[in-house]
Chain A
Amino acid sequence: MLVKHKKSIWYEFYVIDIAKGLFITMRNMLFAPNVTIEYPEVRRNYSDRFRGMHYIKSVNGVENCTACMLCPTVCPAECIHIEAGERPDKEKYPVKFEVDLLRCCFCGMCEEACPKDAIKLSNIYEMSVSQRTVYDKSYLAEQRGNK
């Protein structure tokens, strides 16, 4: 239903409101602060909980992961591939650890599921590459954050 409001003659005569609007844009132009972040030079500070590029945390040069297979199980995108092996000291470890970042949805479930605090999502968000790559263990073993 079309509701008609009674408006004063001054309201119908838009000139005053237009002048007000012009004043507001001019005020914004002259006095309001800029909100632009000039990207390559200035970077935005994301929170520590930001979920970016993966890495496998290691302590004393040995990765924390024990190849328990919890993260490939929980991963909704099924993009983690692990092959387990055995170290000389009978410790289980991942021989192969691959994350296909093109399938990853950065949900952070792997990080949450991991009992050993091994797989982590860092703050890095510049991940564009020119070809399709699956990140392998040696790449993921680089310590990219301090979580």
Chain B
Amino acid sequence: MDTFDWVATAVKILIVLVPLLSVAPVMAWVERRGSALMQNRKGPNRIGPLGLLQSIPDAIKFMGKEDPIPGHVEKFYYVLAPLASLIVPFLTFAVIPFASSMTIDGRVINFQIADLNVGFLFILAVGSLGVYGIIMAGWSSNNKYALLGSLRSSSQMISYELSMGLSVIGIVMAFSTVHLGEIARAQGEVLMTLGPLTIPKWGIFIQPLGFLIFLTTAFAETNRLPFDLPEGESELVAGYHLEYGSMKFALFMMAEYMNMAVASGFIASLYFGGWQMLPGMHSVLDVLGLSGLTFDIVRVAFEALSFLLKLCFFMWFFVWVRWTLPRFRYDQLMDFGWKVLLPLSLANIFITGVMIYYRWY
């Protein structure tokens, strides 16, 4: 690696890190405001226009609070747990491509921090480390409710990870690669043309069942409603972060939102064309009539914007579903994971195999 690579990598890290860190405050506002509107309330609207600055006093409040460590906890793991759950989304987002490549001085830059050849297997592998943060939090808290919450969480994540991994296999079979950049590129191809309408080869069109399974398991993996069993207030007080307060609790919250961001980015790049431009953007780009380096920069900006919009849609979808669906009971959750999603994802693999055998795509 020479200077050029270092600078490019640093810029890419900056492009990813800054939005990722601001996900939590923005989403906290979206969540509160969105839920309020859905329930015919107004939500926070006092600080800043539309209450947009609400997160700043919230952050100040979190930082200003006393941060006690209860006497009965295992200190080392207790402090480590929020960090462990926060690191995972940072690591996983590194392999998600947010734009295609561009060439500067004859050198190709891939807009993806780490261009790993194991691709999204890395996300699945590292993403499952997220459960360690939760288990550590529950176990070290030395509190029965926290422990129950973390046990629930671990069993839930392990059961749903299985279906998640299996549902993605359909995508691997269809595109014959695990490399996320390749998958995003392949989704630019044309699947079919219906008159004036061109349907791209997005994952959702060739893997609708796989998409549904993946979406459901993504909710379970991020511990969001309707699968927020680890946190059930009514039966577990607050679940695994019961003994945490102040900034440590805020870290758990940030980790949850960033996990949502990673899941949304993952869904977008596997099933919604990743950085492939949204319909209409191509014609805008043609109208601008740029060339050379400016064209490349504008194109990359458009692609990043498309990716961002897709990601935002799924972030919003997480919120939307949370305020629509009731929670599962725990046995229903397990039934659903093992008896419905697992067979369905196996069936999906079989169907994909058949379709590939007959060369339907």
Give the distance in Å from the alpha carbon of A22 to the alpha carbon of B316 in the complex: 12
Chain A residues lying within 8 Å of B212, measured Cβ to Cβ, are: 15
Across the interface, A25 reaches (CB within 8 A) one of B38, B41, B42, namely B38
Across the interface, B320 reaches (CB within 8 A) one of A22, A33, A35, A36, namely A22
B34 within 8 A of A: yes
Chain B residues lying within 8 Å of A21, measured Cβ to Cβ, are: 324-325
B77 within 8 A of A: no
Chain B residues lying within 8 Å of A35, measured Cβ to Cβ, are: 40-41
Across the interface, B37 reaches (CB within 8 A) one of A15, A18, A22, A29, namely A29
Chain A residue, CB-CB nearest to B34? A29
Chain B residues lying within 8 Å of A126, measured Cβ to Cβ, are: none
A129 within 8 A of B: no
A3 within 8 A of B: no
A34 within 8 A of B: yes
With both chains docked as a complex, state the minimum distance between the C-beta of A31 and any C-beta of chain B, in angstroms. Answer: 10
Chain B residues lying within 8 Å of A38, measured Cβ to Cβ, are: 42
Check A34–B323 contact: CB distance below 8 A. Answer: no
Give the distance in Å from the alpha carbon of A18 to the alpha carbon of B216 in the complex: 12
Check A34–B325 contact: CB distance below 8 A. Answer: no
Chain A residues lying within 8 Å of B290, measured Cβ to Cβ, are: none
Check A32–B40 contact: CB distance below 8 A. Answer: yes
B39 within 8 A of A: yes
Q: Which of B277-327 contact A (CB under 8 A)?
A: 320-321, 323-325
Check B320–A25 contact: CB distance below 8 A. Answer: yes
Task: With A22-B320, A25-B320, A26-B320 as known contacts, state yes or no: A36 contacts B41, CB within 8 Å.
Answer: yes
Task: With A15-B212, A29-B34 as known contacts, state yes or no: A34 contacts B40, CB within 8 Å.
Answer: yes
Give the distance in Å from the alpha carbon of A24 to the alpha carbon of B38 in the complex: 9
Proximity bits, A47-61, B CB within 8 Å = 1, else 0: 000000000000000
A28 within 8 A of B: yes
Give the distance in Å from the alpha carbon of A15 to the alpha carbon of B321 in the complex: 12
Give the distance in Å from the alpha carbon of A90 to the alpha carbon of B323 in the complex: 70
Chain A residues lying within 8 Å of B40, measured Cβ to Cβ, are: 28, 32-36
Task: With A29-B34, A29-B37 as known contacts, state yes or no: A22 contacts B321, CB within 8 Å.
Answer: yes
Across the interface, B41 reaches (CB within 8 A) one of A18, A22, A24, A34, namely A34
Chain B residues lying within 8 Å of A15, measured Cβ to Cβ, are: 212
Give the distance in Å from the alpha carbon of A18 to the alpha carbon of B321 in the complex: 9
Give the distance in Å from the alpha carbon of A25 to the alpha carbon of B325 in the complex: 10
Across the interface, A18 reaches (CB within 8 A) one of B34, B38, B39, B324, namely B324
Check B42–A18 contact: CB distance below 8 A. Answer: no
Chain A residues lying within 8 Å of B37, measured Cβ to Cβ, are: 28-29
Chain B residues lying within 8 Å of A18, measured Cβ to Cβ, are: 321, 324-325
Chain A residues lying within 8 Å of B38, measured Cβ to Cβ, are: 25-26, 28-29
Check B325–A28 contact: CB distance below 8 A. Answer: no
With both chains docked as a complex, state the minimum distance between the C-beta of B218 and any C-beta of chain A, in angstroms. Answer: 15
Chain A residues lying within 8 Å of B323, measured Cβ to Cβ, are: 25
With both chains docked as a complex, state the minimum distance between the C-beta of B328 and any C-beta of chain A, in angstroms. Answer: 11
Chain A residues lying within 8 Å of B321, measured Cβ to Cβ, are: 18, 22
Check A34–B34 contact: CB distance below 8 A. Answer: no
Chain B residue, CB-CB nearest to A30? B37
Chain B residue, CB-CB nearest to A26? B320
Q: Which of A13-27 contact B (CB under 8 A)?
A: 15, 18, 21-22, 24-26
With both chains docked as a complex, state the minimum distance between the C-beta of A21 and any C-beta of chain B, in angstroms. Answer: 5
Give the distance in Å from the alpha carbon of A33 to the alpha carbon of B39 in the complex: 10
Give the distance in Å from the alpha carbon of A32 to the alpha carbon of B34 in the complex: 13
**Which residues of B approach A to under 8 Å, CB–CB?**
34, 37-42, 212, 320-321, 323-325
A–B pairs, 26, beta carbons within 8 Å? A15-B212, A18-B325, A21-B324, A21-B325, A22-B321, A22-B324, A25-B38, A25-B320, A25-B324, A28-B37, A28-B38, A28-B39, A28-B40, A29-B34, A29-B38, A32-B40, A33-B40, A34-B40, A34-B41, A34-B42, A35-B40, A35-B41, A36-B40, A36-B41, A36-B42, A38-B42
